[in-house]
Amino acid sequence: MRYLTALLALLVSTSGFAVDTQRPQFTFTAIPDQNEAELVRRFGQVADYLSEQLKVDVEYIPVKSYPAAITAFRNNQVQLAWFGGLSGVQARRAVPGSEAIAQGYEDQFFKSYFIAHKSTGIEAGDGLPQAVAGRTFTFGSKGSTSGRLMPEFYIREAFGEAPEEVFSRVGFSGDHSRTVALVQSGAFEVGAVNYAVWEKAVANGDVDADQVSVIWTTPEYADYQWTVRGDIDQQFGAGFKEKLTRALLAIDDKAILDSFPRSRFVSADNDVYRAIEQTAQAIGLLDDF
């Protein structure tokens, strides 16, 4: 009898373990627009939150580049991603039926800063200063909306030429934090950066105002968003996309919101990013997608 009881207990224990390991694995990623440690900290919190809300195992998978984030999304290695405006457009083109479902409140009114090293003597103006011409210039990532797409659009608008014709040398730093560091050090004279990353760096004391400053602010545009694959309900069950959307919109944990930084998340859809898509098409950034 004692043996039978022990056997039943073992069966119950292993049965419970088997059920637990069969929980669906939901994965997401994000474009690497800042240093990796900060992103891991931010999205680790998001993974914990979503796991609790969705009752599935949720894992954040870091990637090394913007194209890698799009590739992971296209290959279904991740089902959700925190994209910039351009990378979101590229990902949704790569996976038809995918949708932008949420954005930060501030992402409706995003902007880029043009920054310059003090040695240039360039002063802030209402328009992009003509004095940037002939300087060395760095974008962020090649696939960044705020660090490449929109700054290039306004450079072309101001000068009627491609950046390579306007500046003496054009570089790509890889991320916004690196752009700030490169311009602050004088490695590049001018650069374009995500305004939110700049303001957070200033608040954290990471910007030396005696060495680098903002010389122009672009008009506002839509940028970052959460994009989900179109087949998400087929993978995780009917209604999962709606449940995921509700969970993202309901985030009110100050630590999570501050880490983005965003005040809250609001609804989004693909139409919000039509202007981004048209701009990217006009300057040839959608050719590979």
User: Domain segments of the chain: what residues?
Assistant: 2-108+222-282, 111-217
C-alpha dist (Å) from residue 138 to 13, 53, 203: 58, 41, 23
Q: What are phi and psi of 27, to 5 degrees?
A: -125, 150
Q: What are the residue ranges in the chain where pLDDT is below 70?
A: 1-23, 287-289
Q: Are 192 and 113 in contact (CB under 8 A)?
A: yes
The reported pLDDT for the residue numbered 283 is 81
SS3 (DSSP) at 289 = coil
- When the candidates are 3.30.360.10, 3.40.190.10, 3.30.930.10, 2.30.40.10, the CATH number that belongs to 111-217 is 3.40.190.10
Residue 276 burial (CB count, 10 A): 23
Integer angstrom CA distances of residue 107 from 57, 99, 138, 146, 264:
28, 16, 23, 11, 10
**Full strand arrangement of the beta sheet holding 99-104:** 57-60, 25-30, 80-83, 225-228, 99-104, 265-267
- What pLDDT does 33 receive? 86
Supply the pLDDT for residue 9. Answer: 40
What is the structure's pLDDT at 120? 98
For residue 23, what pLDDT is reported?
58
Residue with tokens 């054009």: 170
Instruction: Give the pLDDT of residue 287.
Output: 66
Work out the number of other CB atoms within 10 angstroms of the CB of residue 213.
19
Cα distances (Å, whole numbers) of residue 8 to 16, 17, 22, 199? 12, 14, 21, 61
CATH topology of 2-108+222-282 equal to that of 111-217?
yes
Give the architecture-level CATH label for domain 2-108+222-282.
Answer: 3-Layer(aba) Sandwich (3.40)
pLDDT recorded at residue 92: 96
Tokens at 108, concatenated: 């409706």
Residue 59: strand pairing partners: 27
Indicate yes or no: pTM above 0.85.
Answer: no
Percent of the chain as helix, strand, coil, to the nearest 5: 50, 20, 35
pLDDT of residue 22: 59
183 touches 190 (CB < 8 A): yes
